Amino acid sequence: MEQAQNDRRLIGALLRVPFQAINARIAEGLGAFGYTDLRPAHFAVFQQMTPAGRWLTELAELAQMTKQSMGALVDYLEERGYVRRVPDPADRRAKIIRLTDKGQDVERRAREIIQAVESEWARGVGEERFQHFRQTLKDIIAQLGTASAVARDVTRDAR
């Protein structure tokens, strides 16, 4: 307990540890389902996706990476059948990236894995305490305001 009280890491570092733990569990769980060609870097595409799909530039902005880096991830996933590029009905020159059935299966299974992790953590710290933690995070996200595209996206997806 004393070590926890002397932990001087700032909030960003504290949030990163559970984020990395979840990514590791997702990778392990997806591997058990036969999705052995996915790595945590690919999860940035799935995490930012919506049912209607997104433009590459949106995915990159939301994942806080360059368009070129996101393009490489999307290319990899497209080659393996997880996503597809389709013409944007509003602008036929633009492409929207959408999950394929295979990509939707990955997303569904990843959500199941995350729910299992959340249940474990709730058992570990107590259900009420964990729910309070979740609500606190939601409150912080709401406090970030509507000016932030990331905050808007996370808030919408959390509903």
Q: Find the helix or strand (DSSP H, E) in which 93 lies.
A: strand 91-99
Sign of CA dihedral 152, 156, 157, 159: positive
User: Does the global pTM surpass 0.85?
Assistant: no
**DSSP, res 38:** -
Predicted confidence (pLDDT) per residue in 53-83, tens digit: 999 999 999 999 999 999 999 999 999 999 9
Predicted confidence (pLDDT) per residue in 31-40, tens digit: 999 999 999 9
| Ranges of residues in the chain whose predicted pLDDT is under 50 | 146-147, 151-152, 154-159
Contacts of 85 (CB under 8 A, 6+ apart): 74, 78, 95, 96, 97
